[in-house]
């Protein structure tokens, strides 16, 4: 994965380029200073409406977290790595190459999402990563509602398991549209039948059809489910155990059921899986000429309630 310096604009006005001054980033238009914490630019105006995080809550993890390979392999064996995501990474990259694109924005890149290794380890693209947490994967600490980039900067945007954690998904999607070049690609994953995770910072769930409508200003390339009813049932079982024990015990006791139920998902039809899926994905393209056809939603549904 190669890196490239991206031209930054003030996330408040989205017009003025921000200058580096006295170990801070400064917007001449808004007269705002954006601080740097342990080499991470914090490009957030904490006074803006959709910004929930406070300045003193920004976390920077300086040291590289050592991965326990044995533990990771055991967890991957039982919980699995998303095959759907792995396949879609390849499709996403192939489209990027065919468009002669390179610049990819990853929103929520503090940790690498399940099935995304080929995205992160690719040397033919240039990834810019942002999150509210500073890690080795992150270039800028920023809020997805207010992206600190110029219009039409990126050839592709990858946002996985993030939109459920923002208070205004529509605003974030509009920002993605803004920073994408025309014909730029968007790949999104959102949970559906999953319990709350990340506590107070979990707000929204979408059906596959709702996911499509959220990205109504984009041309659809593909849409589908990611994780069937077995995965959904595993989530429910874990949280049922957690309700009268604690999270650690719930995680341990749900490992084997998760493995079995996830395996059974392989034998279910798409129709059976559509209504009770764990989540969905949307793969699309920015097309400024497209006008969303409401009729598409009625034709999109593939479940058993026809």
pLDDT confidence of residue 52: 95
Choose between 219 and 22: higher pLDDT: 219
Domain ranges of the chain: 69-300
Structure tokens at 78: 């039982």
Q: Are 214 and 162 in contact (CB under 8 A)?
A: no
- Phi/psi for 125 (5° steps) reads -120, 165
Q: Say what percent of the chain tops pLDDT 70.
A: 93
Give 157's strand partners. 105, 186
pLDDT digits (tens, 9 = 90+) for 121-172: 999 999 999 999 999 999 999 999 999 999 999 999 999 999 999 999 999 9
The span from the CA of 138 to the CA of 58, in Å, is 13
Stated as kind and residue range, the H or E segment containing 20 is strand 19-21
Residue 1 Cα distances to 38, 82, 240, angstroms? 23, 21, 41
- Phi/psi for 210 (5° steps) reads -65, -35
Choose between 72 and 227: higher pLDDT: 227
pLDDT confidence of residue 1: 39
Q: Are 8 and 16 in contact (CB under 8 A)?
A: no
pTM of the model: 0.93
pLDDT confidence of residue 261: 93
pLDDT confidence of residue 61: 82
The span from the CA of 77 to the CA of 74, in Å, is 5
pLDDT digits (tens, 9 = 90+) for 12-54: 999 899 877 777 888 888 888 899 988 899 999 999 999 999 9
pLDDT confidence of residue 222: 97
Tell me the three-class secondary structure of 56-112, residue by residue: HHCEECCCCCCCCHHHHHHHHHHHCCCHHHHHHHHHHHHHHHHCCCCEEEEECCCCC
pLDDT digits (tens, 9 = 90+) for 238-292: 999 999 999 999 999 999 999 999 999 999 988 889 999 999 999 999 999 888 9
The span from the CA of 225 to the CA of 131, in Å, is 25
Fold topology of 69-300: Rossmann fold (3.40.50)
Average pLDDT rounded to a whole number, residues 178-189: 97
DSSP 7: P
Edge-to-edge strand order for the sheet containing 140-142?
A: 36-37, 40-43, 140-142, 126-131, 103-107, 154-160, 180-191, 279-286, 218-225
Closest among 280, 175, 160, 166 to 217, alpha carbons compared: 175
For the chain, the straight-line distance linking the first and the last C-alpha, in angstroms and rounded, comes to 45
pLDDT confidence of residue 29: 87
């Amino acid at each position: 994965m190669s890196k490239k310096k991206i031209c930054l604009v003030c996330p408040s006005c989205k017009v003025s380029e921000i200058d580096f001054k006295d170990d801070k980033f400064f917007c001449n238009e808004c007269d705002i200073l954006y601080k740097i914490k342990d080499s991470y630019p914090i490009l957030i105006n904490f006074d803006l409406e959709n910004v929930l995080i406070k300045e003193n809550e920004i976390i920077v993890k300086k040291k590289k977290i050592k991965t326990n390979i044995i533990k990771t392999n055991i967890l991957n064996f039982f919980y699995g790595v998303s095959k759907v995501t792995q396949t879609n990474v390849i499709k996403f990259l192939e489209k990027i190459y065919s468009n002669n694109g390179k610049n990819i924005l990853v929103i929520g890149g503090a940790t690498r999402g399940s099935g995304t290794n080929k995205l992160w380890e690719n040397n033919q693209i240039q990834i810019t990563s942002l999150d509210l947490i500073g890690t080795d994967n992150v270039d800028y600490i920023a809020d997805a509602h207010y992206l600190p980039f110029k219009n039409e900067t990126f050839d592709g945007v990858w946002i996985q398991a993030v939109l459920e954690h923002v208070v205004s998904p529509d605003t974030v999607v509009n920002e993605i549209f803004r920073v994408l070049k025309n014909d730029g690609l968007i790949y999104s994953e959102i949970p559906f039948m999953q319990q709350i995770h990340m506590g107070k910072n979990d707000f929204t769930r979408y059906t596959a059809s709702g996911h499509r409508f959220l990205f109504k200003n984009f041309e659809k390339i593909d849409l589908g489910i990611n994780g069937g009813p077995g995965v959904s049932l595993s989530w429910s079982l874990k949280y049922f155990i957690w309700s009268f024990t604690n999270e650690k015990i719930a995680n341990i006791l749900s490992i084997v059921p998760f493995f079995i139920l996830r395996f059974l998902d392989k034998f279910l039809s798409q129709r059976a899986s559509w209504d009770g899926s764990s989540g969905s994905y949307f793969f699309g393209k920015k097309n400024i000429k497209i006008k969303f056809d409401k009729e598409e939603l009625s034709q999109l549904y593939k479940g058993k309630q026809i």
